[in-house]
Amino acid sequence: VSLVAGLLRVPALEEPAALAGALSLFRAMYVNLRGELRGQTEVVISALYLAPLEDKNSPEVVKEVVLEGLADLCALPAFLADLYVNFDCNLSSPNLFERSAKLLCKSSFPVSGVLTTSHLLSFAALCRGLDAICLRCDGAASAGADAA
């Protein structure tokens, strides 16, 4: 818990390298301890990943680091499913899957007509997430076919 509290102090620094390290550390924690980090996952996703993307005043380099980190999480086969099941399906929790998906979709489209790195990173995160969902579905279909 104190490690997560330390991670939450990183955005105040707005140092991209420190933020990238914090996001990488959270990803490693999530991969190894995801069952025990539900409450911390909600706080970290909201504060470290979604808040900088929603803040119009966040520097572009910070948004790029966050989008790269979010793309890495979206590539994990269970991440988006976990967000949906543990948060969106729970009436007392925030809709983290919906919020993430909306942000990535909105950030993928260049409103001004100028394509930036952030647009490409958002699109890449969406694609990685969809690939992970497809792999998960293919795995479930294969397991069902093997059982029959």
Using one digit for the tens of pLDDT, what is the confidence trace for 85-134? 999 999 899 999 999 999 999 999 888 888 999 999 999 999 999 998 88
Question: Each residue of 62-77: pLDDT tens digit?
Answer: 999 999 999 999 999 8
Residues recorded for the chain: 148
pLDDT band (50, 70, 90) for residue 6: confident
d(C-alpha 146, C-alpha 4), whole Å: 41
pTM value is 0.84
Instruction: Identify which of 12, 82, 83 has the alpha carbon closest to the alpha carbon of residue 47.
Output: 12
Exposure of 53 in the CB half-sphere (CA atoms within 13 A): 27
Tokens, residue 14: 């707005």
**What's the pLDDT at 28?**
92
Phi and psi at residue 139, to the nearest 5°:
-65, -40
Tell whether the model's pLDDT for residue 146 goes beyond 90: no
